[in-house]
Amino acid sequence: MVQRLVSFWVYGGALAAVLLLALAPALLAGRPLAQVAVFLHLPAYMLHQYEEHDHDRFRRFVNMHIGRGHEVLTPLAVFIINVPVVWGLLTLAFHAAATQHLGWALAATYLMLVNALVHIVHAVVLRRYNPGLATAVLVFVPLGGTTLWLIQHAGAGSLAHHAAGLAIAVALHAAILAHAMRRLAALQGDKAAR
């Protein structure tokens, strides 16, 4: 059963995104617009993940381009990165923004904007589409940019919150790349030892 969740999580996420969007007007009634925008990061990310991971596209793309044909991203790694880490971070950022300080939402906003930048840079460097590019450009850039503006307009974006949010987003993306590079080195080392 767990293996099926690891293999097919993205489809449940896509359906959950539709449900969250349908419930959003009732759940968010009366909340400040900046909090509404932060809440929307989770279903937006889930739809982005559907574009990325349907039919295992992103993992295969990374294994081909970064792993040079080696499996540097496993299905379990993709599951852990996207479900407990990304969904967890987006959920915590919304809770912190709603109950503590709106500035904590910047962790979710920078996660979205850094992810979009990574997709765009890959597209420019490789001169081709990469899984997730369309939603990164059409959803992440406008939603992330609008949320950033709303947080600043509300006076909640201190330098410390910006620095923490950006550091979290960059660290997460760097950790994924470091994991893939460590796996590549290990796999190439195993191959050389044979």
**Predicted confidence (pLDDT) per residue in 162-175, tens digit:** 999 999 999 999 99
C-alpha distance from residue 102 to each of 30, 68, 114, 181 (Å): 15, 42, 19, 35
Cβ pair 150, 108 in contact under 8 A? no
DSSP 1: -
- pLDDT at 190 > cutoff 70: no
Give the model's pLDDT for residue 62.
Answer: 95
Top pLDDT among 66 and 192 is at 66
Angle between the 88-99 and 106-126 helix axes, to the nearest 10 degrees? 140
- pLDDT tens across 66-84, in order? 999 999 999 999 999 999 9
**Confidence band of 194 (pLDDT split at 50, 70, 90):** low
If one counts every other C-beta atom within 10 angstroms of the C-beta of residue 159, the result is 8
Give the model's pLDDT for residue 46.
Answer: 98
Give the model's pLDDT for residue 71.
Answer: 96
Give the model's pLDDT for residue 192.
Answer: 65
- pLDDT at 157 > cutoff 90: no
- pLDDT tens across 103-146, in order? 999 999 999 999 999 999 999 999 999 999 999 999 999 999 99
Cα four-point dihedral sign 148, 149, 154, 156: positive
- pLDDT tens across 2-43, in order? 899 999 999 999 999 999 999 999 999 999 999 999 999 999
Give the model's pLDDT for residue 8.
Answer: 96
Which residue range forms the structural domain that includes residue 186?
2-193
pTM reported for the whole predicted model: 0.94
Give the model's pLDDT for residue 1.
Answer: 78
Give the model's pLDDT for residue 151.
Answer: 97
As for how many domains the chain has, the answer is 1
- pLDDT tens across 9-20, in order? 999 999 999 999
CA dihedral 29, 34, 35, 38 (to 10 degrees): 120
**Confidence band of 187 (pLDDT split at 50, 70, 90):** confident
If one counts every other C-beta atom within 10 angstroms of the C-beta of residue 97, the result is 28
The residues near 83 (Cβ < 8 Å, ≥ 6 apart) are 9, 13
